[in-house]
Amino acid sequence: MEDYKVKIFIEYLGDLHCSVTHSLSGQTFLTDAPLDNQGKGEYISPTDLAAASIGSCVATIMGIVARNNNIDITGMKINVTKEMTNVPFRKIKKLTLEIIYPNVLKDDDFKLLSNVVKTCPVTRSLSNEVELEYSFHFQNT
């Protein structure tokens, strides 16, 4: 399979704000520097986007596996907590994912989906220096 390419267009708007446009969908959103790095927190920050990327990637990959195995995870929630560090320089230190299934799963389904979290392309693209932690819960138990 040939490498798949997508373009993302970024325009710096001034005052630490950027406009980000996805070429395929035309969807646009704004970013801002985070509060702890001279931003106003008016929009999502670039490192917050990294946290959102891993959460939505894990949910998407789990959705693909669930659909292919006839497992209903509609309503699943993933809460991502991002921790930054300034040592030795500013970077994401840790991403913690709390995965909340809407209903109790059969043991085999739970094992299958729990193993999927480490296979998302975002997870595989992160530096080994970024600590990843996962927890799993059931909403309706």
State the CATH number of the domain containing residue 53.
Answer: 3.30.300.20
Q: Judge if 54 and 121 occupy the same domain.
A: yes
Residue 116: which of 81, 50, 71, 49 has the closest Cα?
71
Give dist(CA 76, CA 132) in Å, integer. Answer: 19
Q: Judge if 68 and 10 occupy the same domain.
A: no
pLDDT at 72 over 90: yes
pLDDT of amino acid 16: 97
Mean pLDDT of 20-34: 96
Q: Judge if 16 and 66 occupy the same domain.
A: no
Q: CA-CA-CA-CA torsion for 3, 8, 9, 14, nearest 10 degrees? A: -140
pLDDT at 1 over 70: no
pTM of the complete model: 0.89
pLDDT at 118 over 90: no
Q: Judge if 130 and 62 occupy the same domain.
A: yes
Q: Judge if 56 and 119 occupy the same domain.
A: yes
Phi, psi of 123 (to 5 degrees): -55, -45
Task: List the structure tokens of 129.
Answer: 């220096």
Q: Judge if 38 and 51 occupy the same domain.
A: no
Give dist(CA 44, CA 41) in Å, integer. Answer: 7
Average pLDDT, the chain: 94
Q: Judge if 61 and 128 occupy the same domain.
A: yes
Q: Judge if 56 and 33 occupy the same domain.
A: no
pLDDT of amino acid 141: 60
Mean pLDDT of 113-129: 91
Beta carbons within 10 angstroms of residue 96's beta carbon: 15
Q: Judge if 86 and 52 occupy the same domain.
A: yes
Domain count within the chain:
2
Q: Judge if 53 and 39 occupy the same domain.
A: no
Task: List the structure tokens of 119.
Answer: 């296979």
Residue 92: which of 25, 45, 57, 42 has the closest Cα?
45
Domain that holds residue 75: 46-140
